[in-house]
Amino acid sequence: MRVLVCEDEARVAHDIASALDASGFICEIVDTGEEAWFRGGTEAYAAIVLDLGLPELDGVTILKRWRSEGVTTPVLILTARGSWPERVDGIDAGADDYLGKPFRMEELLARIRALIRRAAGRAEPAITAGPLTLDPRTRQASLDGVPLSLTPLEYRLMSYLCHHRGRVVPATELGENLYAHDNERDSNAIEAVVARLRRKLKADVIETKRGFGYRVKDGP
């Protein structure tokens, strides 16, 4: 899944991106408020990390614009440690959570995973779909309790379907959420990944709705 990081401190942005990449997310970085507003309003992301002190356009203004434009992507704001008025302004503007700088990367990752779960209406940390279980903390998959070897792309696709289980997900939506902003999003590539997953799962976990997309059943 894709996460947008809006941060103008290059070192902080790089560290966040490295942690997200290592955790199986596709991370994109912008370092100005105008670019953050445009990208967050026109691209599909599972979550957004937003520093309130961006140049050109501040984070609170960006948040207000996103929410007024109907952007519902979960947003985690970053604020200076002890700057509680900023946190209040951010939450009132539509943020879903906040984290004060400096922070531990493990906490940021845990908060992002929680935001994504809540946005999908899921409370439990582990995701299940029939005999399949995914653990977002370790990025491990298992089938009937037996460890399953998935590539990073296969895991991301399966994770996205499981987060939205019960709903038919179009191939275009999968492409928008699995590949970086500047990558080509080919529906045939999505079909190939689904085919590989089906061979590995050896179970009827992913349903194809011809002309509509793919679905993972909601329930055991």
Distance (Å, rounded) from C-alpha 133 to C-alpha 146?
Answer: 10
Per-residue confidence (pLDDT) for residue 219, from 0 to 100: 59
Asked if residue 133 lies in contact with residue 126, where contact means CB atoms within 8 angstroms, the answer is yes
Give the global pTM. Answer: 0.73
Number of domains in the chain: 2
Look up the CATH number of the domain holding residue 204: 1.10.10.10
* 69, 137: one domain: no
Per-residue confidence (pLDDT) for residue 14, from 0 to 100: 95
Which tens digits make up the pLDDT trace of 163-191? 888 889 998 888 888 877 666 666 688 88
Percent composition of the chain: helix, strand, coil (DSSP 3-state, to 5) = 40, 20, 35
* 137, 105: one domain: no
Which tens digits make up the pLDDT trace of 85-104? 777 888 888 999 999 888 99
The sign of the dihedral angle between the CA atoms of 11, 159, 211, 194 is: positive
> What domain range is 192 assigned to?
127-216
* 33, 92: one domain: yes
Asked if residue 39 lies in contact with residue 31, where contact means CB atoms within 8 angstroms, the answer is no
How large is the average pLDDT for residues 124-152?
84
* 95, 42: one domain: yes
* 21, 104: one domain: yes
- pLDDT for residue 220 is more than 60: no
